[in-house]
A and B are shown apart, each in its own frame.
Chain A
Amino acid sequence: MKAKNYIKLISKLKSHALNARRNVVRSSAIAGSIHIASSLSPIDILTTLYFDTLRINPRYPDNPMRDRFIFSKGHGGLGLYCVLTERGFLSEKLLNKYGQDGSILTVHPVRGSVPGIEATTGSLGHGLGMGLGIALTNKRNKNPGRVFVILSDGECDEGSTWEAVMLAGHLKLDNLVAIVDYNKLQCYGKVKEVLDLEPFADKWQASKWEVVEADGHNFSELVLAFRNIPLQKGRPTVIIAHTIRGKGLPYMENTIEGYYINIKMEDLDKRLAEIY
């Protein structure tokens, strides 16, 4: 890629991510909803996926050859809605109704509620298995579509996640990509203190996965990591993305409370001005 185009791409990603973050904060303030920090941490990953990596087209959301994306950490669903809105899958009008009576958009995404939501999630530990099923079908059907699944770090406490990790490696599904939003915080405390995942990369490698560690807020690193998939033929890839919970909203960054607090309407303008 030419340097000029590359710079253009990165600046485009930055601008979409900023819009998406503003929408997360605005929508959750209007809805009075929580999970704000969990919706903010994967925004840069989602933006990279939807604006550079995924072979998708909002005009043909059901194209059978498309890449599929599963948001396994469903509690950050608002982050996905906001990036889908940026990408043209979802109207601003629909997004503005988020959390309101009768809105089709629930905190945890529901398959088919709007185009682009490929799987119903909300209970942790389901997404990678579903993604595995799709990836396996594509392999056997010689369908070039790849499957990307975002997991939370807390979700890697779930036994079912590891059932899928082991089988995907065993089945050599190099069309399956897991991305861990490794923000180091879970519901009740620091991952390191609740249930330490380290040595995290080793666990994936031992299950026959290729591992890439990246800064989950550095677009250059993310673009490169996704463009290099599969790193090795016959092996699924995991991107361990080091992120900051609440990224972009300084007072919420890296706080446990970020999981639970909501934004008051009278503070909204102030918070919107703080977003970076």
Chain B
Amino acid sequence: MRTAFVEEVTKLAEKDKNVWLITGDLGFSVFDDFKNKFPDQYLNVGVAEQNLISIAAGLAMSGKKVFVYSISTFMSMRPLEQIRNDLCYQNLSVYLIGGGSTFSYSTFGCTHFALEDIGLMRILPNMAVVSPGDPLEVRALIRDIYKRNSPAYMRIAKKGEPVVHTSQDRISLGKAAKVFEGKDAAILVCGRQLPNALSAASALKKEGINCRVLSFHTVKPLDVETILKAAKETDGLIIVEEHFRIGGLSSAVAETLVINGLSIPMISVSISDEFPKGSGSQDYFLKKHDLTPEGIANAVKKVLHYGKKH
């Protein structure tokens, strides 16, 4: 995903001299090509995230469209107030790219786990929040957020994520992408769990359970219409996200259902409300939180069971 991001931004910078890329001393080696090609559109501000955001605001106040790169945790929390006041309140064309999904830096410990970034960004007015599920979603959404004259936050996983979409798929900001048909239940997935959701749906189909898989790469503005449709047409919703259960897509969907007066069985496959302990591989942590094809499939069965019971 990171390569997809860098390639798309490079294309944009070629066409538009107002496109800048700035970093808080992270992304070692991946920006070398960009920096060499566009030295006047690049800056490393050092390890100073607050300043990183204020500078991005200053650049945007001078007519630039600014992509900012840092690790998701440092990007979304240290300068949260700069994001709120300088970017959102002033409504500027600054696009934050948070590298590293929840457990990308799995052996580093919890300081490096992005668990609440989407929730924090989602609260802020004027902000768009996206968490792409494959490299093609990264590319399409980079192009879409660049068209905005308002801020955006994108969480991208590190590398090696499989391509799920085909080049014909229409991927656009604010519109969930249906990647699998089904009417028994709907899996609403956000971010790099997309392939797992798809695997779960394929496996369940063999057992006679037909699951719709919706890629909710955009958490804000939320595709309310698609949520309501899924709630009306299926017997249960399963929300899958590598994020704390509080604040992210799970919360967004729950809010939407309640506000629209819909009651439907729903399960969130996400990170429970505690700091994950210790070290381990990315898969180790994901498995612990059922963020696997099996874990998702089990959640589907559980939801449908609830559905029958009530």
A, B co-complexed: yes
A163: Cβ under 8 A from any B Cβ = yes
Given contacts A130-B58, A133-B61, A163 and B43 within 8 Å (CB-CB): no
**Mask: chain A, 127-153; 1 = CB below 8 Å from B; 0 = not:** 111111111111011000000000000
**Contact of B58 with A163 in the complex, beta carbons under 8 Å:** no
**Contact of A132 with B54 in the complex, beta carbons under 8 Å:** yes
Query: Could you say which residues of chain A place their CB within 8 Å of the CB of B56?
Result: 133
B180: Cβ under 8 A from any A Cβ = no
Closest to A110 in B: B89
Name A163's contact: one of B48, B62, B85 (CB within 8 Å).
B48
**Contact of B85 with A120 in the complex, beta carbons under 8 Å:** yes
**Contact of B59 with A159 in the complex, beta carbons under 8 Å:** no
A136 CB to closest chain B CB (Å) equals 7
Q: CA separation between A126 and B54, bound complex, in Å?
A: 6
Of the candidates A64, A122, A126, A130, the one having the most CB atoms from chain B within 10 angstroms of its own CB is A130
A119: Cβ under 8 A from any B Cβ = yes
Provide the main secondary structure of the chain B interface. helix
**Contact of B51 with A129 in the complex, beta carbons under 8 Å:** yes
**Contact of B90 with A133 in the complex, beta carbons under 8 Å:** no
B40: Cβ under 8 A from any A Cβ = yes
B45: Cβ under 8 A from any A Cβ = yes
Query: Could you say which residues of chain B place their CB within 8 Å of the CB of A160?
Result: 48, 50-51, 54, 82
**Contact of B46 with A166 in the complex, beta carbons under 8 Å:** yes
**Contact of A134 with B82 in the complex, beta carbons under 8 Å:** no
**Contact of A132 with B82 in the complex, beta carbons under 8 Å:** no
Query: Could you say which residues of chain A place their CB within 8 Å of the CB of B179?
Result: none
Q: CA separation between A170 and B58, bound complex, in Å?
A: 17
B93 CB to closest chain A CB (Å) equals 13
Q: CA separation between A170 and B61, bound complex, in Å?
A: 22
A63: Cβ under 8 A from any B Cβ = no
6 contacts between A and B (CB under 8 A): A120-B86, A126-B82, A129-B50, A129-B57, A138-B62, A167-B51
Q: Measuring CB to CB, which residues of chain B are less than 8 angstroms from any residue of chain A?
A: 40, 43, 45-46, 48, 50-51, 53-64, 81-82, 85-86, 89-90
